[in-house]
Structure 1
C-alpha cells in the first residue's frame, strides 16, 4: 500500500470511528433494554421509545448538519458530534428516571449524524476508484462496534451469577457506560485528520487544499482535481441553503432524488433495527435462555464484521448494483425463512413446563404460583400468550418473566430456519444495502447540493429506521413475531423490484462524471 493509500485509509477510519461508537450504542441498548424496562416499569410503547428516540435525535440533527458542515467544515462538526456522544453516554448510564434516559438517548441520536458527515468527508478525500471501499468503512466500524458491545453485554450477563454488585438493577448501566472509553478515543483521533480539501476549495483556501491533496492524491492529479471542483463550484454560484434545496427538488434532480429516497426507505425499513436494537428479544422468541440469547448476539456481531469486510473487498470489483440486488434477494429469502420458522409455533403449559419456569425464575424471587391458571393450556400464538402474561405480571416483572416462559413452553418452532433467517439477513445487510447505501449517497449528489442532499437522504433513511425500532415492541405484542418478519420480507421484495429498474452502476467514476450522467441538463 502506498503512502497516499495509507493516508486516505487512516483519515477514513478515523472519520468512520463514529460508526464504531454508534455500533456500541445500538448493541448496548439491545442488551440493556430488558433490564431498563424492568427498572423503570416501561410499557411496550415506552420500550420502543427508549430504542427509537435516538433516531428522533438523528432526524433533528439532520436539519442542521448540512448548514453546519457548510459553515464550519467537516472536521469541526465531527468533533462536536464526538463530544455529544460523550454527554449522551454519561446521561444514559446514570439515568435515574425514564425521562432522563430518553434525553440521554436523544442526544446520542443527534450524534449519530456522524454517519452522514463521515460519508461526506470520506467521499471528498477518497480517489474515485477507491471511494466505495473507503466509504464502506462506515459500515465496517458499525459492525465492529456491534460485535464488541455484544461481547461486553454477554460477559456482563455471565458475571451476574458470580459478582454480587452486578445485578438486574444496575447491569444495564455498565452496558451503556462502556461506550465512554470509545468516545474519548474518537475525540483524540479526530484532532489528527485534515479538513476536506473540497470544502477548503469552496471557501477559497486553495493553498491549504493543495497541501492536503498532496497527502491523499498523486501530484499529477492535484491541479486537475482543484480545477474540476472549482468548475463545479462556479456552476453553483455559491447557492444559499434555500437555493440548494430548490435545486435538489427541481425536475433536473428528480431521478437522483427518487433513487436516493427508494434506497433509503428500503435500507431502513427491511428490519435491521428490529434485529439490532432488540436482538435478545428476537432470540428469546426461539426459546433460548437469557445467556443463550446474548451468546447468539456475539455470533451476529461476527457475521456482521465478516460480511462487511467482504463487501469492502468486492464493492469496487463487483460494483454497487450487483451487491445491492444480490443482497436484497438474500434479504427476502432470509425474512421468509424466519417467518416460516415461527409460523407453526405453539406454547404448551404442561407439568414439565411449569416446573422449568419455577426453577428458572427462583433466583429473581418472582412468585410463579400466579402462573397456575395457565397449567394445561396451549396457546397458538405468542400474541395470545403475551396478553395473558401481561394480565398476571406488572411492567417491572414482565420483561424478566416473558423470556423464561417462552423458553420453557415453546413447541413446534423450526429453530434452524429462524436462525438461518436472522443470520442470513445480517449477512445480506452488511454485504450490500448497509454499506452500499452510504457509498451511493456519497456519489450520486452533485457538489452544488451535497451539503443539503446527504442530510436529506439520511433523514429519509432515519425515518424508515425509526419506524422499525419505535414500533417493534408494540408489533411483537400485537402482531406476533412471524407476521413482523413477513412484512419485512415484503418490503425487501418491493425494494428488489424497484432497484432492479432504477439503480445505475457508479463504480470507478468521479462525482462530477456521475453528475453529468444522472442529472438532467
Structure 2
C-alpha cells in the first residue's frame, strides 16, 4: 500500500515537472517569435506615422498627388529592391544576422526622414526604410522555422498582430501631437511631422537589443550542418522526445542539396513540380496587396477627411481603426488553428467585398454644396474662405469636381491644410455606410488575408527553397501593394473615392472566387508534408 502511494506521488511529481518544462519551452518559443515579429511593430509604426505626417509634408514641400504617392510608395520600391537580395543574405548569413542588419537600417531611415530638408531627401529616407520592410518576410521565415506544426499558424500570425499594434501606437501618438498643436508652441505645421517620424527611433533601438537575445533558426543551422546547435535550439522550444524525429524529417529534405546556391533554388522553385506552389503564392500575394489595405493604412487621415471630418477627428478615428485591427488580428490568432486557413481566407475576402461596396455606396451618394453658411463655417476654422466666393451656389455630385475647383484657387501649400475643412462644411453624406465599410474591411483583412498570407507562405515552401521562395512571394505582394500606395492620391484626385473603393471591392471578389478553387488546407501539417502534398497536386 505504501509502495503504491509512493509510486503515485512520484508519478504526480513527474507530471508536474514535465508540465512545467513544457510550459517553459512554449514560453521560450513564444518569446523568440515575438522578438522576431517586433519588426512588424516597427513597420506598422512607420506606416501609421507617414499617414499622419502626410498632410503636413505635402504642405511644406508643396507636393503634387504623384509626389505624395512617391513619398509613400518609394518605401515599397525599397522593399522590392531588398527582396532581390534577402533570400541570398538569409541563406548565407542566417535569419538572425539579417534581422539585426534590418533593425539598423530602420534606424538610419528614421534619422534621415525626420531631418529631411527637401522632398528628395525625404524620399531617400523613406526608400531606405522600405529596404528594412523586408523584416516582415524574414520574421515570417524565422517564425515558421521555429514554431511547432500545431501552433505555426498562431505564431506566424503574431507578425500581423505586431503590425497592427505598431499602427495603433502611432495613431495614438499622432493624435495627441495634433491635439497639442494649439497648446505647445514648439509644435507647428512645419515640424510636427518630424516628431511623428522621429519617434520611430525608440522602438528601433529596443528591437535591435532584443534581437541579440534570440537563437539562430534551427532549420538554417541544419542546412549548414550545425546539427548540435540546431538540436539545442529545438530542445529549448520543443518536446525533447519529439526532436530526433523532427530533425530526421528535416534532414531528409535538405540532405541532397544542403548547400544549394540561390540560382539552383530559383531553378527548383520555378520547375514544373513546384508550379502549383508558385501559382498559389502569386495569386494570394496579388489579392492581399491589391484589396486596398495600404490605402487605408498609409492614408488613414486622408480617407477619413473624405467623409467630412475635422483634422482632429480624423486622427481620433485612426485610433479606433487601429484598435479594430488589433482586436481582429487576435481573432485570427485564436481561430487560425481551429477554423483553418482556407475558411478564414475565403470568408475574409467575401466580407472585404461587402465592405468596399458599402464604402462605394456611401461616397457615390455624397453631394457637396458651397453656400454662405458653409463659407462662414470654413472661415471660422482659419481658412481663407474668400477664394470660395466664385463657387457659391454651386452643387457638386462628386468629390473629384469639388477638388478640381479647390485646386484652381488654392496653392499646393494651402490645399492639403484646407481641403479637410472645406469638405467638412460642404458635404452631404450618410457616413454610416463609409464608416461601416472601413471598419468591416479592417476587421476582415486582419482576421484573414493579412496574417494568413504569411502563414501560408511559411508553410508551403520547404527549407530547400524557402530562402528564395518567401522573398519572391513577398516581392509579388510588394509590387501589388506599391500600386495601391503610389496611385491612391492620384485615384482620389481623378477617379474619386467611390470608384477607387469599388475597384478594391472588385479585386476582393475575384480573389475570393480564385482562393475558393485553389487554396488547400494546411493546418496541423509539417512543412515537409505540406510541400509533398502540393507538389503532387501540381
How far residue 236 of structure 1 moved from its aligned partner, in angstroms, is: 3.0
Correspondences of 1:56-95 after superposition (within 5 Å): 56-95=77-116
* Cα RMSD after superposing both structures: 0.9
Match of 2:75 in 1: 54
After TM superposition, list the pairs within 5 Å mapping 1:311-390 onto structure 2: 311-360=332-381, 362=382, 366-390=383-407
Q: Secondary structure at the match of 2:256?
A: helix
2:440 corresponds to which residue? 424
Partner of 1:403: 420
In the other structure, the counterpart of 2:185 is: 164
Question: Which of 200, 207, 232 is the aligned partner of 1:211?
Answer: 232
SS in 2 for 1:166: coil
Q: Please state how far the C-alpha of 1:169 moved relative to its aligned partner.
A: 0.7
1:10-409 correspondence runs (5 A): 10-236=31-257, 238-360=259-381, 362=382, 366-409=383-426
Paired residue secondary structure (1:370): helix
Contact 2:223–2:258 (8 Å) recurs in 1: no
Which residue number in structure 1 is paired with residue 481 of structure 2? 465
What's the counterpart of residue 11 of structure 2? none
The gaps in structure 1 that reach 5 residues or longer are: none
Q: 1:474 aligns with which of 490, 512, 515?
A: 490
SS of 1:154's partner is helix
SS at match of 2:525: coil
The Cα shift of 1:446 comes to: 2.1
Runs of 5+ consecutive residues of structure 2 not aligned to the other structure: 1-21
Query: For 1:347, what is the secondary structure of its paired residue?
Result: strand
Question: TM-score, normalising length from structure 2?
Answer: 0.95
Separation (CA, whole Å) in 1 of partners of 2:207 and 2:463: 28
2:219–2:463 Cα contact (<8 Å) kept:
no
Per-residue Cα deviation, 1:74-106 (whole angstroms, up to 9, x for no partner): 000000000000000010011100011000000
Q: Quote how far apart the aligned CAs of 1:4 are.
A: 1.2
Number of paired residues? 516
Match of 1:436 among 452, 461, 464: 452
Partner deviation per Cα, 1:480-512 (whole Å, 9 max, x = no partner): 000000000000000000000000000000001
Q: Deviations over 1:146-181 (max 9, x none)?
A: 000000000000000111110111110111111110
- Residue 138 of structure 1 deviates from its aligned partner by 0.2
CA contact 2:291–2:505 (8 Å) conserved in 1: yes
SS at match of 1:348: strand
Q: Which secondary structure does the structure 2 equivalent of 1:236 belong to?
A: coil
Secondary structure (helix, strand or coil) at the match of 1:2 reads helix
Match of 2:531 among 509, 515, 518: 515
Report if the CA contact (8 A) 2:224-2:258 is conserved.
no
Distance 1:282 1:416 in 2: 14
Distance in 2 between residues matched to 1:421 and 1:25, nearest whole Å: 24
SS in 2 for 1:16: helix
Counterpart Cα distance in 1 of 2:408 and 2:282? 42
CA distance in 2, matches of 1:432, 1:333: 15
1:374 positional shift: 1.0
1:491 paired residue among 504, 507, 510: 507
Shift in Å at residue 239 of structure 1? Answer: 2.1
- Tell me the SS of whatever aligns to 1:145: helix
- Measure, in 1, the Cα distance between the counterparts of 2:227 and 2:32: 20
1:195-232 CA distance string (max 9 Å, x none): 00011111111111111111011111211122111110
Q: Please report how far the alpha carbon of residue 369 of structure 1 lies from its aligned counterpart in structure 2 after TM superposition.
A: 1.4
Query: How much does 1:515 deviate?
Result: 1.0
Q: How far has the Cα of 1:237 moved from its partner?
A: 5.3
Structure 2 residue aligned with 1:456: 472
Distance across 2 between alignment mates of 1:347 and 1:241: 57
